[in-house]
Amino acid sequence: MPNFKKYDYDQTAMVVVNFLEQLQPGTFEFTLHQLIEGHIDLSVFYEKYQNDQGGRSAYDPAILLKIILFAYSKGITSSREIQWQCENNIIFKALSCDSVPHFTSIASFVSSYPDAIESVFEQILLVCSEQGLLGNELIAIDGCKMRSNASKEHSGTLSELSEKRQKIRAQIKHCMKEHKKLDKRKPRERERKEQLEQSIDTLSKHYEKVDQFLKTQPQGWGKENDPKK
């Protein structure tokens, strides 16, 4: 019998991590971080904060904007889920600088600054779209997908860019609407173990189906001697 090194995925490890190094250039999360940190004006968010003379310190809007938009890019529109991701997902940890905003803080932020958040997200997604960083990650709206631009240059007619902008706005509004709707639901405990077992079971069934088909079905050929799908 071969003698392989043992491994176990279901374990916890203490790992030294530089959060900035997790945000690799050429990725959506890197661009998101750079734009919010150095290019987007966030002054509109600061006006409501009156805790400079005392009181509990608040989460920086830059942190909240990063984790919320990154969550939307992954199809996550629940404040509870975003909090969980900040606790467990290394990219969320990097974007939040290892802070874990409570889900009520995330939900309150989204409800307090809907227009300002939409404006920031629109600016970021327009840049990311032109950089070819969106792909098919963001949720499609009414079957209308936003394709990445293969060239990394700002190109397109005024009407084309305007149409892209409208699609981005619709996408953002959809995500924020879903976010608020999910946050209104009654809290319930996560059942991640059951979800994981269900996912594994579904994957196993799909694999067995494909594997059995490949083992039993001969390759068919079309009229022009092309292999049938």
Domain assignment of residue 195, yes or no: no
Rounded to whole angstroms, how far apart are CA atoms 144 and 140? 6
Domain assignment of residue 37, yes or no: yes
Give the pLDDT confidence of 86-131 residue by residue, as tens digits: 999 999 999 999 999 999 999 999 998 888 888 888 888 878 777 7
DSSP structure string for 138-193: SPPBTTB--PPPSSSS----HHHHHHHHHHHHHHHHHHHHHHHHHHTSPP----HH
Domain assignment of residue 153, yes or no: yes
Domain assignment of residue 208, yes or no: no
Total structural domains in the chain? 1
Q: Rounded to two decimals, what is the model's pTM? A: 0.68
Domain assignment of residue 170, yes or no: yes
Strand partners, 141: 144
Give the pLDDT confidence of 17-56 residue by residue, as tens digits: 899 999 988 888 998 999 999 888 888 888 877 766 766 7
Query: Mean pLDDT across the chain, nearest whole number?
Result: 78
Domain assignment of residue 227, yes or no: no
Domain assignment of residue 114, yes or no: yes
Measured CA distances, 144 to 132, 140, 152, 197 (Å): 17, 6, 22, 33
Cβ neighbors of 145 (< 8 A, separation 6 or more) are 136
Give the pLDDT confidence of 138-147 residue by residue, as tens digits: 443 333 444 4
User: Length of the chain in residues, anyone?
Assistant: 229
Q: Note whether 173 and 118 are within 8 A (CB).
A: yes
Residue 16: HSE in the Cβ half-sphere, 13 Å Cα cutoff: 0
For 150, the domain range is 19-186
Domain assignment of residue 220, yes or no: no
